[in-house]
């Protein structure tokens, strides 16, 4: 049985406007670049005592997808969260910065600045990026192993820069005229495979500061990277068994690197379509996805499974023996592997497969139902050891967000599965990190 509160975050990607949901009259889609839109969401999340709000990022514009929805076109996450810091007091603010394209000195400075602006509530979601290389030169993204080697060096450089200028080096002694003790500040003089950075950083670290590190990616290389550096992992785990396997594997890897197994939290995305009744929730889910481009799903299934989808009988089971090799250049091998495991486990027909979240290269844990259904599903995952928390992704309409914050979270708190109050003034403190 789960004995401590779960770590719960809320995506600021406005998932309740995804697919066809933005077309609802009450969607407020026109406000996607309006700070007040996000300010109110963040304040409501803080009122519910969530651990953090999180803004994913994309460094490109998907024009075909943009024809039918906003996708990931968005404000810069670091700037957005810095603005939200002034209107919140306790909730963690997790921004995303890619290691494939950004200079580590710039990212170190942005995050250290956000930590000051928010009084210790900054968090960093470390991604290697799957798309966007065309906006940073002509070279394609390197293979996964190389991207994660670069990410590890990038993270080590950022952390060294954070340490290079401690706050206690600032003396500000008006009498003597001595501003800083230079003996406590030093260059990092890093020379590595990917980066040469002299340092020190020009923003001091907060006294006792600790910026929690998050990582998104469940490939073998991603898991190994997370085991080395991350405090939490964002992951797609569509079912309990998948969540248990990933959590156990991460804890084994963490221990192998000399860290305590509890040092890392596994936080799956939880897509929530909520309504007063199950029938209403199913109708909301169906209406949201009714306009989705089935041809794009079929194309992705064919790529991921190595199948000629156009010649499949839509009602015939797809078995593991039918699967071929995934096509090269697949955007996310991790999601493709989840799709293949689904085939091996359930042998769905094509018609059934097209209705699953895995067919959209998402594979998030999904609950379509009432507040009771959501609470029961979360409790079952926690009790099964399949999650240490989750990232809430309300879907379909603003009502899913409302019901999650105003009904699901209080119910979880009553069960001891969500916090009732903040224990610390900093994000790391609320997460119980040293």
100-127 pLDDT per residue, tens: 999 999 999 999 999 999 999 999 999 9
Give Cα separations from 248 to 138, 237, 264, 266, 346 (angstroms): 39, 13, 11, 10, 23
Which pTM value belongs to this model?
0.90
Q: Report pLDDT for 313.
A: 87
The reported pLDDT for the residue numbered 139 is 81
Tell whether residue 96 is among the known ligand binding residues: yes
Give 332's pLDDT tier (boundaries 50, 70, 90): low
Give the pLDDT score at 286: 87
pLDDT category, 360, cuts 50, 70, 90?
low
Q: Where do runs of H (alpha helix) occur along 216-332?
A: 220-229, 240-256, 278-289, 294-305
422 is in an annotated binding site: no
413 or 239, higher pLDDT: 413
Are 77 and 93 within 8 A, CB to CB? no
Residue 139 vs residue 361, higher pLDDT: 139
CA angle 361, 366, 367 (to 5 degrees): 160
The per-residue pLDDT for 328 is 67
Q: How confident is the model at residue 373 (pLDDT cuts 50, 70, 90)?
A: very high
> Could you tell me how far CA 215 lies from the centroid of its own chain?
7
Task: Please state, in angstroms and rounded to a whole number, the distance separating the CA atoms of residues 138 and 355.
Answer: 37
Measured CA distances, 202 to 113, 162, 172, 198, 423 (Å): 10, 10, 16, 12, 31
Q: Band the pLDDT of 350: cuts 50, 70, 90.
A: confident
What confidence score (pLDDT) does residue 299 get?
A: 79
Grouping H, G, I as helix, E, B as strand and the rest as coil, residue 398 is helix
pLDDT at 303: 83
Rounded distance between C-alpha atoms, residue 381 and residue 387, angstroms = 6
200 cis-preceded (ω within 30 degrees of 0)? yes
- Compute the residue count for the chain: 434
**pLDDT-derived band at 206, boundaries 50, 70, 90:** very high
pLDDT over 60 (residue 1): no
Instruction: Answer yes or no: is pLDDT of 138 > 80.
Output: no
On average, the pLDDT of the chain sits at: 92
Is residue 170 pLDDT above 90, yes or no?
A: yes
Query: What pLDDT does residue 169 have?
Result: 97
pLDDT for the residue 369: 96
Instruction: Over range 38-46, report the average pLDDT.
Output: 98
| Tokens 């991603």 belong to residue | 222
Reported as a single tens digit per residue, the pLDDT across 207-254 is: 988 999 999 877 899 999 999 999 999 998 988 988 999 999 999 999
Cα 89 from Cα 425, distance rounded (Å): 8
Pairing between β-strand 389-394 and β-strand 7-11 as defined by DSSP bridges: parallel
Q: How big is the chain by its Cα radius of gyration, in Å?
A: 22
Q: Which pLDDT value is given to residue 239?
A: 87
pLDDT > 90? residue 298: no
Measure the CA–CA gap between 365 and 113, rounded to whole angstroms.
Answer: 34
Q: Is the pLDDT of residue 434 over 80?
A: no
Residue 361's pLDDT band, with cuts at 50, 70 and 90, is: low
Tokens standing for residue 207:
């006294």
Neighbouring CB atoms inside 10 A of 84's CB total: 24
Q: Is 373 annotated as a binding residue?
A: no
Does residue 370 have a known ligand-binding role?
Answer: no
pLDDT-derived band at 291 (thresholds 50, 70, 90) equals low
Residue with tokens 């979240």, as numbered in its chain? 357
Beta strand spans in 16-91 (E): 52-54
Average pLDDT over residues 188-207: 97
Assess whether pLDDT exceeds 70 at residue 45.
yes
More confident position, 218 or 284: 284
CA distance 353 to 357: 9
Looking at the predicted structure, is the pLDDT value of residue 382 above 90? yes
- Classified as helix, coil or strand, 134 is helix
Beta bridge partners of 273: 368
Q: What is the pLDDT of residue 105?
A: 98
Give the N- to C-terminal CA distance of the chain in Å, as an integer. 25
Structural domains of the chain ordered from first start: 7-289+364-431 (3.20.20.30), 293-359 (no CATH)
Cα-based torsion angle of the residue sequence 393, 100, 195, 120 in order, rounded to the nearest 10 degrees: -20
The Cα 181–Cα 302 span in angstroms is 62
Q: What is the model's pLDDT at position 128?
A: 93
Statement: residue 357 has pLDDT above 80: no
Does pLDDT of 181 surpass 90? yes
Report residue 331's pLDDT band, with 50, 70 and 90 as the boundaries. Answer: low
Q: Mean of the pLDDT values across residues 308-314?
A: 85
Instruction: Give yes or no for residue 391 having a pLDDT over 60.
Output: yes
């Amino acid at each position: 049985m789960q004995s401590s509160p779960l770590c719960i975050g809320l995506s600021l990607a406005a998932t309740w406007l995804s697919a066809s949901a933005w077309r609802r009259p009450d969607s407020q889609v026109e406000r996607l670049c309006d700070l007040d839109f996000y300010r109110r969401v963040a304040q409501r999340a803080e009122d519910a005592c969530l651990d953090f709000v999180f803004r994913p990022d994309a460094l490109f514009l998907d024009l075909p997808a943009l024809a039918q929805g906003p996708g990931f076109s968005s404000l810069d996450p670091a700037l957005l969260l810095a603005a939200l810091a002034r209107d919140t007091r306790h909730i963690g603010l997790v921004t995303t910065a890619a290691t494939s394209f950004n200079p580590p000195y710039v990212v170190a400075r942005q995050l250290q600045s956000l930590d000051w602006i928010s009084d210790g509530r900054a968090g960093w979601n470390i991604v290697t990026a799957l798309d966007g290389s065309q906006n940073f030169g002509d070279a394609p993204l390197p293979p996964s192993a190389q991207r994660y080697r670069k990410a590890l060096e990038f993270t080590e450089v950022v952390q060294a820069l954070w340490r290079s200028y401690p706050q206690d080096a600032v003396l500000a002694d008006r009498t003597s005229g001595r501003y800083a003790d230079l003996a406590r500040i030093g260059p990092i003089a890093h020379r590595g495979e990917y980066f040469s950075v002299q340092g020190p950083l020009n923003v001091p670290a907060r006294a006792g500061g600790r910026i929690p590190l998050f990582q998104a990616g469940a490939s073998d290389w991603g898991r190994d990277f997370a085991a080395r550096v991350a405090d939490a992992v964002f992951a797609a785990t569509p079912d309990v068994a998948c969540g248990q396997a990933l959590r156990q594997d991460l804890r084994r890897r963490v221990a192998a690197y000399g860290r305590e197994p509890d040092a890392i939290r596994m936080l799956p995305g939880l897509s929530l379509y909520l309504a007063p009744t199950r029938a209403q929730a199913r109708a909301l889910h169906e209406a949201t996805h009714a306009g989705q481009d089935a041809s794009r799903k079929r194309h992705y299934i064919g790529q991921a499974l190595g199948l000629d989808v156009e010649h499949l009988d839509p009602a015939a089971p797809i078995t593991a023996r039918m699967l071929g090799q995934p096509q090269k250049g697949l955007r996310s091998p991790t999601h493709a592997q989840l799709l293949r495991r689904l085939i091996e486990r359930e042998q769905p027909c094509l018609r059934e497969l097209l209705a699953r979240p895995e067919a959209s290269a998402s594979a998030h844990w999904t609950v379509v139902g009432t507040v009771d259904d959501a609470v029961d599903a979360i409790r079952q995952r926690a009790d099964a050891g399949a999650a240490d928390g989750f990232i809430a992704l309300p879907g379909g309409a603003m009502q899913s967000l409302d019901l999650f914050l105003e009904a699901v979270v209080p119910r979880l708190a009553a069960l001891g599965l969500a916090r009732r109050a903040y224990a610390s003034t900093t994000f790391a403190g609320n997460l119980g990190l040293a």
